[in-house]
Amino acid sequence: MKPASPGAEYLPRSGGKRAARRIVTAAAYRVWRRKLARKAGFDRGDRRAFLEIGSGPGYFLSRLRAWFPDSLIIGSDLDRACTLHAASEAPGAALVRSDALELPFRSATLDLVSAFQVIEHVSSPERFLGEARRALKPGGILLLSTPNPAGIAARVRKDKWQGFRHDHISLRKPDEWHAAALGAGFRVLDSGTTGLTGIPLLKVPPFSFLNWVPMALFGYFPWRRGESLMMICAKGERP
């Protein structure tokens, strides 16, 4: 039997699930569109260069294509199955297979780098941040999200928490990620954590609405006990 692709868990297994995933992710990613407008001044008519590291099935790439139709949209992922899926999900996006620690881009060429639930997988987060900074133009924007081991779900569920996985080799608390970003030469423009999606009861209707409605409206909140940390950073001068 042919071994499953490492990225198979991120791919929908049916057309119905693919359509549902599109709807859910479109709603979830709206927070980044609002934040980019408010915190970084990104406008629909801009001509910019975007890179998503760990682009997976391509759902965020498709949103970027819709939001910034005149821009260059690039997705980077090591998994071939994810790259093939992203090609159909985000037509017109440029797709590359590359390591997050060695980005195949010239210095100061990108306006935005995003990495959602990726940095916890890499062996050297500092090198990851350094590569992102190198590729960004002065003032360029970095979007990050990562599981939060200081969250309520992690504290309550302990080793049963969904964020404790064998491939999450670089889990850190929010304050530690802030320090890492500052040390890499970024300014933190905005940050917060999400709701309590790591609590099983809050994944089941009607309780799940207590999580998803506020998150659909606000994305994340100014506290440190949510499920995932979300950060918007700008490339600044090295300290």
Q: Does a structural domain hold residue 86?
A: yes
Q: Does a structural domain hold residue 9?
A: no
- DSSP symbols for 172-190: --HHHHHHHHHHTTEEEEE
| pLDDT digit string (tens) for the chain, length 239 residues | 344 455 556 666 656 666 766 777 777 898 899 999 999 999 998 999 999 999 999 999 999 999 999 999 999 999 999 999 999 999 999 999 999 999 999 999 999 999 999 999 999 999 999 999 999 999 999 999 999 999 999 999 999 999 999 999 999 999 999 999 999 999 999 999 999 989 988 888 887 887 778 887 888 999 999 999 999 999 997 65
User: How far from chain centre, in Å, is Cα 13?
Assistant: 22
Identify the CATH number of the domain in which residue 109 sits.
3.40.50.150
89: which residues sit within 8 A by CB, 6+ positions away? Answer: 57, 58, 59, 61, 62
Q: Does a structural domain hold residue 18?
A: no
| Residue 130 lies in domain | 35-235
User: What's this model's pTM, rounded to 2 decimal places?
Assistant: 0.91
Helices 59-67 and 80-89: angle between axes, nearest 10 degrees: 30
Alpha-carbon distance values, 184 to 161, 178, 207 (Å)? 29, 10, 40
- Bond before 147 cis per omega within 30 degrees: no
Alpha-carbon distance values, 139 to 37, 109, 133, 185, 232 (Å)? 15, 11, 10, 11, 12
In this structure, are residues 83 and 77 in contact, taking their beta carbons and an 8 Å threshold?
A: yes
Residue-level pLDDT at 90: 94
The structural domain count of the chain equals 1
Q: Does a structural domain hold residue 22?
A: no
Residue-level pLDDT at 8: 58
Amino acid residing at 222 = P
23: which residues sit within 8 A by CB, 6+ positions away? Answer: none
Helix (H, G, I), strand (E, B) or coil at 147: strand
Residue-level pLDDT at 2: 42
Q: Does a structural domain hold residue 107?
A: yes
Q: Does a structural domain hold residue 14?
A: no
> How far apart are the C-alpha atoms of 213 and 202, rounded to whole Å?
12
Q: Does a structural domain hold residue 5?
A: no
Residue-level pLDDT at 3: 40
Q: Does a structural domain hold residue 11?
A: no
DSSP letter assigned to residue 212: H
> How far apart are the C-alpha atoms of 216 and 213, rounded to whole Å?
5
Residue-level pLDDT at 206: 83
